[in-house]
Structure formats: structure tokens, C-alpha cells
């Protein structure tokens, strides 16, 4: 006959077995036997879909000796001197499509001319870069010819993650080979990481080291919850603070790659937001700083058409709370194009919900990209007409019209005078600059001096050159 303690144990096992799946997902170990349980089944399921990535770039270079007549008499024309330099990058990736689609970090393959992907079964493939998205630090590759079916990772809803959930990080740290580490979700929606434009990272204490970039962060069901992308470390090694791009953002980039797009198109809100400081919170009667305050609204934008005005406090998107500006940006950017998003806001202390159309920013006016030449402070700069679409692409806050600097050539007057990508040219010699044609016409006048007014990071600067 069973004693009372044995009966209690059997009853507990029956209750545990009969509990619904969602009740079992988050439960601390209840006995020494449970502590001894292994992650091996999950690892065995995940490993075939996590890959190692090797990227290289070969640069041709000329020895500085060859430019000096003194050294040229010893080295001649330089034959025998090394003229090529090979740069290498090491990272990880996750197969997310049976047809060979691989997701990794953009910084792993940025600027590289050859990318190879090694599977856990030791096979290697040359990869084709389908799409790069620097704004999220994600890239999508393709391996194989489309005839082979590859093992893949299923996506989880990263918004459902909770602090304390167990996760596994799989990657190729330091190039030692595929490695698995375990930990918990230390925080969600981290916004002060400084990687990419969409700051809503998953933080974990699972060991992540150089080479893990682009690897998979998975839950205990073997589903992809994030792409490992950065660590906080003063030594270069793991100190238990790693960050991953949420799977819901990864799916946005993957969807664009599947459609054949060369860039990711996201919904345009059409309003500038600012952080809620303790002082602003007190003036609004809030118990603590939270939400995103609307600073201004672009005419005819989705926000304007939904009735949003400056001074509104955005508190949620589709029922999910918004804690700060970065939180709103992430929530809105992960909504699919088409349809509407329910944006909850507070106005005069009263809550209301409006429907905002999920449409892309318009490319009006056309960019009309021009390279500026001749004698002017802008010589060596490439400029374009600014539109809402280009402002979104360049992550500009505020301006959505005018002429923007796209890039400056190394050593050019424009670079030496301090012009930067994203500078919006407002006036030249007290004349407004509305288009690239205006700038080109003014730049060709060759005046005695140049008085230039630009907008950078929400601030206006005026400089005088020549004289």
C-alpha cells in the first residue's frame, strides 16, 4: 500500500501532466530531478538550422614607398610587394526558410565581397545577399539553388516574452565552432543600446561573444525569439549582458526580402515625437513619465488624417503599451503595410483611440540626386531632394522637405568644411534652397563669400566661408 507522501507525489504528477500547455511554459524547477533535466532535445532540434558565416573582402592597395623616388630606386616598380589586403568577418546566422533563406546581422557582411555559409553538417555554400537593412542591422542571404529543402527555425511571438523566461543562444563565438549557451531573458524592450534605429532589444545573460553576431536566440520550444546582435562589455568578452533583435522585427525584414525588394518599406506615421520627461509628466498630471509626446504633425500624413495633433500623448499601439518614443517606433514599424493600427492617446487627460493608416511614406518630390562640382563649399557632396520617404530612410527627425546631403567624397571641400550625411540645406546667401536645382544654380554663381544655413539633428547652424 502506498503511504501518504507517495500518494501526494502521484497526485502532483497527475496534476502536472493534465495542466494545459500554457501553464507549463513558465514554471521554476520543483525538485532536484527537474533541475537535472537537459536542454539536449531542444539543442538537437535547433542546431541544424544555425549556421556559421565567413565573409571576406580583398582590397588592392599601392605601397606608399612607390610614391617616393628615393625608395623606388630600391623597390623598382614594386613587384614582389604585397598589393592586396584581405579583410575577414566572422559571424553566425539562422536558416528561416526551407528554400535557403538565412538571416544574420548586417555588420557581419557589410562591405564584404564574398560570403560563405557553413552548416552544422560541415557543408559550405556560397551565399547571395538578397537584402541589407542597416536600420535594424539585419541582412537576408540565400544559399543553395532552390531545389534542396533546408532545416529551419520557426518564429515565436517575441512580444510574448517575459523577463525570466529561459532562452538558449546558438552561434559560433570566436570561430571555435557551433556553441550553445543558456540563460534567461534579463529585460525586454531595451532602448539605450545604440545599435540600429529601432531600439527595442531583448536582453539576456546567455553568454554571447564575438562571432555570435547573427546567431539564434531560441526559447525552450526551439522557436526563434531573436537574432543575437550586440554585447555590453569592457573586455570584449561576455559579462552576461547581451542583446538580440526581436523576432517580430526580423519577420518584417524577411518579408521584404521574400517580396524581392532591395530595401525595407515600413509604415509612415508622419509625426515627430519627443520623450516624456519628469517635468512634462508632472505638467500632464501623470504619476510617472511614460508614453511618447507628439511634437508636430506633417500635413496630409497618416497621423494628421487620423486627427492626431501636437500635444497628444501616445500610450499604446494595437493595445500594447508604449513606454517611450523608441517603444512607439518599434511597435509601429513592426505593423504590416496595409490596413490600420489602433493608436491610443491621451488628450486633455482623456483617453481616445484613433485608426492610423499603415501606408508607406511618399517619395514626393523625386530625389533628383546630383553630385556638386565646381568652386563652392558643397563641391564633392552628393545631394537630393528631401521627401518623407527619404527622411524615413535617413532617420531624420523633423524635416521632410528641402535638400539633404547624401554623402561627401573623401578629401573634398564639402567633407573638409564639415558637411555630413543627413544635413538639410536651408539657405545659401540668405536665399532659400527648395530643391537640388536651386542649390546647383546657386553653387555655380561663384560669389565672394558663402553664407550657408543647415539643419542637423533638430538644430540650425549658419556658417560663412570665403570672404
Range of the domain at 230: 158-258
Model-level pTM greater than 0.85? no
8 Å CB contact between 140 and 103: yes
Q: Is 1 inside a domain boundary?
A: no
Q: Is 387 annotated as a binding residue?
A: no
Q: Is 211 annotated as a binding residue?
A: yes
Residues 162 and 252 in one domain: yes
8 Å CB contact between 89 and 112: yes
For helices 247-258 and 325-333, give the axis angle rounded to 10 degrees: 40
What number of H helices and E strands is found in the chain? 13, 26
pLDDT at site 97: 95
Residues 352 and 374 in one domain: no
Residues 346 and 289 in one domain: yes
Q: Is 365 inside a domain boundary?
A: no
Residues 6 or more apart whose CB falls under 8 angstroms from that of 223 comprise 153, 154, 155, 156, 247
Residues annotated as catalytic (active site), given as ranges = 107, 137, 213
Residue 375 C-alpha cell reads as: 568652386
pLDDT at site 68: 53
Helix, strand, or coil here: 113?
Answer: coil
Residues 452 and 393 in one domain: yes
Residues 60 and 100 in one domain: yes
- Identify the domain boundary among 225, 258, 291: 258
Q: Is 42 inside a domain boundary?
A: no
- Identify the domain boundary among 142, 172, 192: 142
8 Å CB contact between 214 and 53: yes
Q: Is 401 inside a domain boundary?
A: yes
* E-state strands within 119-165: 124-126, 128-133, 138-142
Give me the CATH number covering residue 235. Answer: 2.40.10.10
Q: Is 388 inside a domain boundary?
A: yes
Residues 339 and 418 in one domain: no
Residues 135 and 173 in one domain: no
Q: Is 212 annotated as a binding residue?
A: yes
pLDDT at site 195: 58
pLDDT at site 60: 58
Residues 384 and 460 in one domain: yes
Query: How many structural domains comprise the chain?
Result: 4
CA atoms of 90 and 400, how far apart (whole Å): 38
Which residues is 428 bridged to in the sheet? Answer: 431, 452
Residues 226 and 171 in one domain: yes
- Identify the domain boundary among 112, 142, 172: 142
Rg of the chain, C-alpha, whole Å:
27
CA atoms of 108 and 200, how far apart (whole Å): 20
Phi/psi of residue 98, nearest 5 degrees: -60, -25
In the chain (467 residues long), the average pLDDT of successive 10-residue segments reads 43 40 58 75 93 82 51 52 66 95 93 90 93 92 92 95 94 84 89 66 88 92 93 64 92 93 90 92 89 92 95 94 90 91 93 96 92 87 92 77 91 90 90 89 78 88 80
Q: Is 21 inside a domain boundary?
A: no
Closest C-alpha to 356, from 291, 391, 312, 290: 312
pLDDT at site 10: 40
Q: Is 137 annotated as a binding residue?
A: yes
Q: How far is CA 253 from CA 105, 144, 429, in A?
A: 12, 20, 43
Q: Is 168 inside a domain boundary?
A: yes
pLDDT at site 139: 95
Q: How far is CA 245 from CA 98, 179, 204, 351, 418, in A?
A: 22, 19, 11, 31, 33
Closest C-alpha to 321, from 200, 408, 404: 200
Helix, strand, or coil here: 12?
Answer: helix
Give me the CATH number covering residue 460. Answer: 2.30.42.10
Amino acid at each position: 500500500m502506498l503511504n501518504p507522501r507517495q500518494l501526494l507525489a502521484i497526485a502532483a504528477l497527475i496534476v502536472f501532466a493534465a495542466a494545459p500547455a500554457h501553464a507549463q511554459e513558465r514554471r521554476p524547477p520543483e525538485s532536484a530531478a527537474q533541475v537535472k533535466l537537459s536542454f539536449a532535445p531542444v539543442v538537437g532540434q535547433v542546431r541544424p538550422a544555425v549556421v556559421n558565416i565567413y565573409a571576406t573582402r580583398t582590397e588592392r592597395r599601392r605601397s606608399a614607398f612607390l610614391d617616393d623616388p628615393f625608395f623606388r630606386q630600391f623597390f623598382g616598380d614594386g613587384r614582389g610587394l604585397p598589393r592586396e589586403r584581405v579583410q575577414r568577418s566572422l559571424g553566425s546566422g539562422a536558416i528561416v526558410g526551407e528554400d535557403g533563406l538565412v538571416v544574420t546581422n548586417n555588420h557581419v557582411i557589410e562591405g564584404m565581397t564574398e560570403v560563405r555559409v557553413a552548416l552544422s553538417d560541415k557543408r559550405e555554400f556560397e551565399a547571395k545577399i538578397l537584402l541589407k537593412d542597416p536600420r535594424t542591422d539585419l541582412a537576408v542571404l540565400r544559399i543553395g539553388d532552390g531545389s534542396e529543402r533546408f532545416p529551419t527555425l520557426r518564429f515565436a511571438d517575441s512580444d510574448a516574452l517575459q523577463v525570466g523566461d529561459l532562452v538558449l543562444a546558438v552561434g559560433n563565438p570566436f570561430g571555435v565552432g557551433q556553441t550553445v549557451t543558456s540563460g534567461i531573458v534579463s529585460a525586454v524592450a531595451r532602448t539605450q543600446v545604440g545599435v540600429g534605429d529601432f531600439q527595442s532589444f531583448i536582453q539576456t545573460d546567455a553568454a554571447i561573444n564575438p562571432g555570435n553576431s547573427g546567431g539564434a536566440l531560441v526559447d525552450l520550444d526551439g522557436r526563434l525569439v531573436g537574432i543575437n546582435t550586440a554585447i555590453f562589455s569592457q573586455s570584449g568578452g561576455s559579462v552576461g549582458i547581451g542583446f538580440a533583435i526581436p523576432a517580430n522585427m526580423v519577420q518584417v525584414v524577411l518579408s521584404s526580402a521574400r517580396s524581392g525588394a532591395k530595401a525595407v518599406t515600413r509604415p509612415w506615421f508622419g509625426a515627430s515625437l519627443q520623450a516624456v520627461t519628469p517635468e512634462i509628466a508632472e505638467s500632464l498630471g501623470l504619476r510617472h513619465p511614460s508614453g511618447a509626446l507628439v511634437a508636430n504633425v506633417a500635413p496630409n500624413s497618416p497621423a494628421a488624417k487620423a486627427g492626431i495633433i501636437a500635444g497628444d500623448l501616445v500610450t499604446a499601439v494595437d493595445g500594447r503599451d508604449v513606454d517611450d518614443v523608441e517603444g512607439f517606433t518599434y511597435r509601429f514599424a513592426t505593423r504590416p503595410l496595409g490596413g490600420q493600427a489602433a493608436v491610443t492617446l491621451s488628450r486633455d487627460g482623456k483617453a481616445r483611440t484613433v485608426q492610423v493608416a499603415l501606408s508607406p511614406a511618399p517619395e514626393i518630390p523625386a530625389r533628383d540626386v546630383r553630385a556638386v562640382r565646381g568652386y563652392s563649399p558643397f563641391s564633392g557632396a552628393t545631394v537630393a531632394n528631401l521627401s518623407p520617404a527619404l527622411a524615413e530612410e535617413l532617420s531624420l527627425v523633423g524635416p521632410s522637405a528641402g535638400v539633404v546631403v547624401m554623402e561627401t567624397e573623401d578629401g573634398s571641400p564639402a567633407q573638409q568644411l564639415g558637411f555630413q550625411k543627413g544635413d538639410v540645406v536651408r539657405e545659401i546667401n540668405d536665399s532659400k534652397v527648395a530643391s537640388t536645382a536651386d542649390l546647383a544654380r546657386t553653387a555655380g554663381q561663384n560669389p565672394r563669400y558663402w553664407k550657408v544655413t543647415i539643419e542637423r539633428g533638430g538644430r540650425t547652424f549658419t556658417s560663412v566661408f570665403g570672404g
